[in-house]
Chain A
Amino acid sequence: MHSWPSAKEWTKQPELTNQQMAFKLHKESRDWFKKIFGKSPFGTMFDLYQACLVLGLAAERCEPEESSMTEFMDEFIQRYRPYQTTIIGSMISVVLSRKGISSADREAVSKEISRLVSGDSARGDLTIEGFRELNGYALGGFNLLRESFDSPPQHPASFLAKYRQILEETRLGLQI
Chain B
Amino acid sequence: MPREEVINAIRSEIESRNLPQEAGDRILAFIKQAESSEFPNRDREEQLALILDALPSLEAEQGDSEL
A52 to chain B, nearest CB (A): 49
Write the residues of chain B forming the contact surface with A, with a CB cutoff of 8 angstroms: 42, 45-46, 48-49, 52-53, 57, 67
Contact A11 B57 (CB under 8 A): no
Leading 3 A-B pairs by shortest Cβ distance: A7-B49, A7-B45, A7-B46
A3 cross-chain contacts in B, Cβ below 8 A: 57, 67
**Secondary structure type dominating chain B contacts:** helix
Query: Whole-angstrom distance between the alpha carbons of A10 and B45 in the complex?
Result: 9
A165 at the B interface (CB under 8 A): no
Interface extent on A, as a size class?
Answer: under 10
Contacts of B57 in A (CB 8 A): 2-3
CB within 8 Å: A-B pair count: 15
Q: Complex Cα distance A3/B64, Å?
A: 14
Asked whether, in the complex, the Cβ of A2 is within 8 Å of the Cβ of B53, the reply is yes
Give the distance in Å from the alpha carbon of A58 to the alpha carbon of B59 in the complex: 64
Most B CB contacts (10 A, CB to CB) among A6, A10, A11 go to A6
Is B52 in contact with A2, judged by CB distance below 8 angstroms?
A: yes
A7 surroundings in chain B (CB, below 8 A):
45-46, 48-49
Cβ B52 vs Cβ A11 within 8 A: no
A10 contacts which chain B residues (CB < 8 A)? Answer: 45
15 CB < 8 A contacts A-B = A2-B52, A2-B53, A2-B57, A3-B57, A3-B67, A6-B49, A7-B45, A7-B46, A7-B48, A7-B49, A8-B46, A8-B49, A10-B45, A11-B42, A11-B45
